[in-house]
Chains A and B, each alone.
Chain A
Amino acid sequence: SAVISQKPSRDICQRGTSLTIQCQVDSQVTMMFWYRQQPGQSLTLIATANQGSEATYESGFVIDKFPISRPNLTFSTLTVSNMSPEDSSIYLCSVDWLAGNEQFFGPGTRLTVL
């Protein structure tokens, strides 16, 4: 199976700043997704990262707050913009390289906003 990595693994940021999280896969994948997991909670889908086109956002998530890039089939970034303490979460990318719904998760990025 492919290896999924995320950078950074964790960060502590100040209110009002932005952080870009990278997700790298060691083989080409069809689909990439971004999820948020707030402390002690379940996972919530933020958006689907589409290669070569704008990301598809779920209800409650907007491009201005969570801009996403996917320049190729192995890489995607998620930016958390103008952060507030409520953005403190684990952000996870997932990949579905078989286009068959089996999603595998990266190790996550633990973000703390002060």
Chain B
Amino acid sequence: GENVEQHPSTLSVQEGDSAVIKCTYSDSASNYFPWYKQELGKRPQLIIDIRSNVGEKKDQRIAVTLNKTAKHFSLHITETQPEDSAVYFCAASSGGGADGLTFGKGTHLIIQP
């Protein structure tokens, strides 16, 4: 089955700086890669996703890149703000709408004021 590795487990950045979280996956059949943000005591919230026919996707301060050959994808957050502090999870799915998600272990992002 699919295996998703996520690094780093904890990331501390100064407010205003950029943050990058990286994930690798094992199953070449995976074609859908979402990122979730989870604040303490809350449900995971989908913040951005990318499909295997796209190399990069942006939404305001966040972007995701995908390298299918290397089987890795990354989340980039620019101009970080205190409200970006949370746990971020990457995930992968082989798609078709019938598959669940395999999650990475998560990255605790801390924004230092």
B80 at the interface (CB under 8 A from A): no
Q: 1/0 contact trace for B74-102 toward A, CB 8 Å? A: 00000000000000010001010111111
The answer to whether A99 and B103 touch (CB under 8 A), given A105-B43, A107-B43, A108-B43, is no
**Does A30 lie within 8 Å of B44, measured CB to CB?**
no
Q: Which residue in B43, B98, B105, B106 is a CB contact (below 8 Å) of A92?
A: B43
How many residues of chain B have a CB within 8 Å of chain A?
A: 21
In the complex, which residue of chain B has the Cβ closest to the Cβ of A50? Answer: B98
* Residues from 1 to 46 in A contacting B, C-beta threshold 8 Å: 30-31, 33, 35, 41-45
- A residues less than 8 Å from B45 (CB atoms): 105
Distance, CA A102 to CA B32, complexed state (A): 9
Q: 1/0 contact trace for A59-79 toward B, CB 8 Å? A: 100000000000000000000
* Residues from 20 to 75 in B contacting A, C-beta threshold 8 Å: 32, 34, 43-46, 49
In the complex, which residue of chain B has the Cβ closest to the Cβ of A96? Answer: B97
How far apart are A10's CB and chain B's nearest CB, in angstroms? 11
7 A-B pairs with the lowest CB-CB distances in the bound complex, closest first: A99-B97, A45-B100, A101-B32, A105-B43, A42-B103, A43-B103, A33-B100
- B residues less than 8 Å from A106 (CB atoms): 43
How far apart are A69's CB and chain B's nearest CB, in angstroms? 17
A58 at the interface (CB under 8 A from B): yes
B1 at the interface (CB under 8 A from A): yes
- A residues less than 8 Å from B32 (CB atoms): 101
How far apart are A59's CB and chain B's nearest CB, in angstroms? 7
* 23 cross-chain CB contacts under 8 A: A30-B97, A31-B97, A31-B98, A35-B100, A41-B105, A41-B106, A42-B89, A43-B89, A43-B101, A45-B102, A94-B101, A99-B98, A101-B32, A101-B34, A101-B49, A101-B93, A101-B97, A102-B34, A102-B46, A103-B34, A103-B101, A105-B44, A107-B43
Distance, CA A7 to CA B101, complexed state (A): 23
The answer to whether A45 and B43 touch (CB under 8 A), given A101-B32, A101-B95, is no
